[in-house]
Amino acid sequence: MNKRQRERYRKQLLAKREELLHLVQAARKSEKEGTGKEAPDLGDRALSTVTRDLSYQLTIAERDIVRRVDDALDRMEKGEYGICVACAKKVQIGRLDAVPWTRHCIECQELQDRGEI
Ligand SMILES: [Zn+2]
């Protein structure tokens, strides 16, 4: 990977990080605004619980990606970006384009998805 490619991924990672942190903050804000309001009947109360659970779930998933993005930026600092952490081969450019924060090449990702590594 040349410097220009790396710089492009770095920008994508930073943009994604920004976007996710924004979402996490927005979810937190709506959680805060949601508390204290009494739902008038049981049906509405059940619905508001579902909505709150959903935003909580989303927040966890997004925090997880933020962690991966940070990890990718960290590996970039060390010059390890774009190298599969499992087999130490170069991660395919197409895969990095799709998931810039990936730690695994396509083959290792498939193995991991199947629980084999
Ligand atoms: Zn691999």
pLDDT in tens, 68-91: 999 999 999 999 999 999 999 999
Enumerate the domain spans of the chain: 1-79, 82-117
Note the pTM of the prediction, 2 decimals: 0.74
Q: Using the mean position of ligand 1's atoms as its centre, give its distance from the Cα of residue 83 in Å.
A: 8
Neighbour count for residue 19 (Cβ, 10 Å): 14
- Per-residue burial over 59-69, b = 16 or more CB atoms within 10 Å of its CB, e = otherwise: beebeebbebb
Tokens in use for 110? 């498939």
Distance 61 CA to ligand 1 centre (A): 23
How many Å lie between the centroid of ligand 1 and the Cα of residue 12?
22
Residues 14 and 93: their CA atoms lie apart, in Å, by 18
Vertex 56 angle, CA 11 and 50, to 5°: 135
Residue 29: strand pairing partners:
none
**% of the chain beyond a pLDDT of 90:** 60
